[in-house]
Amino acid sequence: MLAELLYLFLAAIAFFVVISALVFFHELGHYSVARAFGMKVERFSIGFGKAIWQRRSKSSGTNWMISRIPLGGYVKFAGDAGAASNPDQAALEQIRADHGDVSDIFHFRPVWQRALVVLAGPIANFILAAILFAIAVMWVGTTHPEALIGEVEAESAAAQAGILPGDKIVAMDGRDISDWVDMARHIQLRGNTPIETVIERGGRLETIIVVPRMIEDKDFIGGRMTRGKFGVGLSPDAEMETRTYNPVTALMFGTQQVGNTISATGHYIGRIFNGKEDGKQLGSVGRIATMVGKSTVDVARTEIPVSDKVKAFTFRMLQLAAAISVALGFANLIPIPMLDGGHLMFYAYEAVAGKPLSQKKQELGFRVGMAVLLALFVVLTINDIGYFRSL
């Protein structure tokens, strides 16, 4: 019982450390670009609600805070109505009347500067993810087996398409497939979707169409997921390439991983709108907590030396934190008022129209955005509960 409580405590600590770090870097992106433009930032908060710790910077005047509810954070500029940075017209007019000089006020700055400040949050998450991916591969390297087919399951999608043992996958949907991992990643998000597949057989190239079957499977911590399946196994004769990385090549790899993750996320969301996915693989805080917590507990329970446990835990947290950081940056770019993407949508209108959207319309947009976010939160929470129950 004591051991189980200790595991749960470690899982909770790991979750809050990961979430707080990712939120901190996101908000630091907003803050850093705003300060670079000389804008006044009143508050930098990790979490919401009443502060449990705070300190005011003498140089910038920013009040740095850690708040009671540690599931998010925000940067508040002078003239903001709240944490979503929607403008408070009365406050802005009062600032203008009291000080006259509004050159350091976010809402009075050129639209391109405001857009860069808003965009800096998601970009910070992408940069952080690339660095975390890079650290992970510098540490352990990567292994790349060639996409050489061994076993072909009877009646599988591959068998019905005519794939044979000894065939080598060369390309899919016009994209070069260099190894087994690339092949599996491409198939996973294309269940019940025809894939134009180029194979090498007997020294000749042939093009065939394979339609992976959509199956229910378990992810790396044992939770429910759906994926496309070819029904093939890796050949024992496949060549294995082990790659090591220096800081430059590792950062290139990390950047590529960020791009791959963004592309896969966009592809999955597109399939939801096309009715090809049920959307249940999308989750929110509950799923993140489950993944971080289960990963922590699994490593802690493994019967290996403590030094190996620390290495395995650190590597898994690096990978998880990087993936979550990409998801956080991507989610914030969705064009819903209240999110960074919603602000960018308003700024795009302002840049094209030559004037900002009216205050009344912006307020309506924020209300609609809040309603959409609440509805989305309910749906994602239901997904999280289903995911947790599948473990």
CATH code, domain carrying 227 = 2.30.42.10
Helices within 206-339 (DSSP H only): 247-273, 285-301, 306-332
Whether residues 122 and 196 fall in one domain = no
49-64 pLDDT, tens per residue?
A: 899 999 999 888 999 9
- Tell whether the torsion through CA atoms of 174, 175, 177 and 182 is positive or negative: negative
Instruction: Output the CA angle 39-45-49, nearest 5 degrees.
Output: 130
Q: Is residue 235 part of a domain?
A: yes
Whether residues 298 and 390 fall in one domain = yes
333-362 pLDDT, tens per residue?
A: 999 988 999 999 999 999 999 988 888 888
- Measured CA to CA in angstroms, residue 105 lies from 60, 69, 318 at distances of 13, 28, 37
Q: What is the pLDDT of residue 176?
A: 93
Q: Is residue 156 part of a domain?
A: yes
Within 8 A by CB and 6+ apart from 188, the residues are: 227, 228
Q: What is the pLDDT of residue 302?
A: 85
**Is 90 exceeded by the pLDDT of residue 389?**
no
Whether residues 313 and 371 fall in one domain = yes
Whether residues 193 and 304 fall in one domain = no
Whether residues 250 and 210 fall in one domain = no
Whether residues 179 and 189 fall in one domain = yes
Last residue of a domain, one of 198, 214, 242: 242
Whether residues 209 and 341 fall in one domain = no
Pairwise CA distance, residues 14 & 151, whole Å:
40
Task: State mean pLDDT over 101-119.
Answer: 91
Q: Is residue 68 part of a domain?
A: no
Instruction: Output the CA angle 134-135-141, nearest 5 degrees.
Output: 80
Buried b (16+ CB within 10 A) or exposed e, 339-377: bbbbbbbbbebeeeeeebbeeeebbebbeebeebbeeee
pLDDT band at residue 26 under the 50/70/90 scheme:
very high
Pairwise CA distance, residues 58 & 44, whole Å:
14
**Is 80 exceeded by the pLDDT of residue 25?**
yes
Number of domains in the chain: 2
Q: Is residue 313 part of a domain?
A: yes
Whether residues 213 and 248 fall in one domain = no
Whether residues 279 and 303 fall in one domain = yes
Within 8 A by CB and 6+ apart from 222, the residues are: 294, 390, 391
Pairwise CA distance, residues 331 & 224, whole Å:
22
Whether residues 258 and 383 fall in one domain = yes
> For the chain, what is the mean pLDDT?
91
**Is 80 exceeded by the pLDDT of residue 105?**
yes
Here the contacts of 45-53 (C-beta below 8 Å, separation 24 or greater) are 45/73, 45/74, 45/75, 45/76, 45/83, 46/20, 46/70, 46/73, 47/20, 47/71, 47/72, 47/73, 48/72, 48/73, 48/74, 48/83
Q: Is residue 220 part of a domain?
A: yes
Q: What is the pLDDT of residue 54?
A: 94
- Residues that are catalytic: 27
Pairwise CA distance, residues 346 & 351, whole Å:
9
Q: Is residue 11 part of a domain?
A: no
Q: What is the pLDDT of residue 94?
A: 78
Q: Is residue 339 part of a domain?
A: yes
User: Model pTM?
Assistant: 0.91
Last residue of a domain, one of 242, 268, 302: 242
Q: What is the pLDDT of residue 16?
A: 85
What tokens does 243 get?
Answer: 């790659």
Measuring CA to CA, which residue among 215, 137, 387 is closest to residue 285?
Answer: 387
Q: pLDDT over 70 for what percent of the chain?
A: 96
Whether residues 258 and 372 fall in one domain = yes
Range of the domain at 178: 143-242
Whether residues 262 and 118 fall in one domain = yes
Q: Is residue 96 part of a domain?
A: no
Q: What is the pLDDT of residue 280?
A: 92
Q: What is the pLDDT of residue 1?
A: 55
Q: pLDDT over 90 for what percent of the chain?
A: 69
Q: What is the pLDDT of residue 130?
A: 98
Last residue of a domain, one of 221, 242, 263: 242
